[in-house]
Amino acid sequence: MVAAISRAMFVSRLSTGVHLDRMSPELKSALEDAGVTPQHLREIAGKDLVIRGDAELTQLFRKLDQRAEGIKIEGQVTVGGRAFLLLELAAKEPSDLRVDGRLDVAIAIGAGGPERSVHLDAEREVMSGLRARGFTPLGLAKIRAMPGEDRARLGLEDKHLDPSALHFVRDEGEGKQTVVRLSTGGTRALDHSAMVIRAGGTSSRNPEQPATGLRPQLGARDPQKVIEAPAGGSPVLQILDSAMRRGAS
């Protein structure tokens, strides 16, 4: 696979920073394969052990670009093969988003995208993946019949409930839960989620463009927690897996 990524896009996509002490084994291994050693990373990160901000991320980008095997397309700096893979892995590294033991994830499929049948496939694929991961679907009637304290524990009180979204929960043990809101239209489900995975919208099909259709609707939410994914269910599920792994640590 050959893909292009500009320095600005790289810095933007890693705006939450790369935390050296919380880096996943996959990212660590991909960086080492690309010739970027732990020593390089510590030098770039400095004392706080976090690579963030334009200057530090640019240093990391240049380190990777020295080893890039890609081609030039329309004047953009490009990387290919393993280097691009590790950029993807790094972009998917969320910080620890679990609050009071609960990880709230919203999956927005096709917000702003024109192709409905692609979204139906992605919706079905995501649900099949949630089934395989041991999630339980919660219909609105079932949620409304739950005791108040359970609804509060899961963040599913009326004020946080989006009737147009599908809700799923998984008990992680030790008092931890993951709550997934799957939305294929409205944006209310996104308001109360620590992390939004947006798949198949205009922006993810053209990553150089900002997610103009969605971000203004997020109001005061921190846009750093919005992750753009390619269309389709599989990329969404990979990001969800990564978030749950980080949330569990």
Partner 1 sequence: MSAAIDHRPAFAVDRQRALALVSTLVAPIEAKLEALAKLEAIADADAVLALGILVAEVDPPLRSAIQGTVLRLGGERRFIAELGAADAAVRARAAHALGGLRHFAAVPALIDRLTDPDAVVREQVASALIRLRDPRAESALIHGLRFDPSPDVRSACAQALGELGAADALIAAASTEEDPFTVLLIERSLWRLENRARG
Angle, nearest 10°, between helix axes 25-33 and 81-91?
A: 150
Joined together, the tokens standing for residue 57 give 């991320």
DSSP state of 73: B
Q: 94-116: buried (b, 16+ CB within 10 Å) or exposed (e) per residue? A: bbebbeeebbbbbbbbbbbbeee
The verdict on 201 binding partner 1 (CB under 8 A) reads no
Smallest separation (angstroms) from partner 1 to the CB of 241: 18
Interface with partner 1: number of residues (CB under 8 A): 31
Tell me the one-letter amino acid at 82.
Answer: R
Which of these ranges, 17-25, 55-63, 146-154, 228-236, lies near partner 1 under the rule CB under 8 A?
228-236
Which of these ranges, 39-47, 92-100, 110-118, 145-153, lies near partner 1 under the rule CB under 8 A?
110-118
Range 143-162, binding partner 1 (CB under 8 A): none
Are the C-beta atoms of 247 and 96 separated by less than 8 Å? yes
The one among 97, 127, 146, 218 contacting partner 1 by CB under 8 A: 127
The verdict on 120 binding partner 1 (CB under 8 A) reads yes
The one among 114, 148, 173, 219 contacting partner 1 by CB under 8 A: 114
The one among 137, 176, 213, 221 contacting partner 1 by CB under 8 A: 137
| Sign of the Cα pseudo-torsion (124, 130, 132, 138, in order) | negative
Neighbours of 91 (CB within 10 A): 23
Torsion of the alpha carbons at 92, 232, 160 and 133, rounded to the nearest 10: -80
Mapped onto helix, strand or coil, the DSSP state of residue 102 is strand
The one among 23, 109, 166, 196 contacting partner 1 by CB under 8 A: 166
The one among 29, 37, 66, 136 contacting partner 1 by CB under 8 A: 136
The verdict on 14 binding partner 1 (CB under 8 A) reads no
Range 52-91, binding partner 1 (CB under 8 A): 73, 76
Question: CA 118, CA 49: separation in Å to the nearest integer?
Answer: 41
Site of interaction with partner 1 (CB under 8 A): 2-4, 73, 76, 113-115, 117-118, 120-121, 123-124, 127-128, 130-131, 136-137, 139, 164, 166, 204-208, 230-232
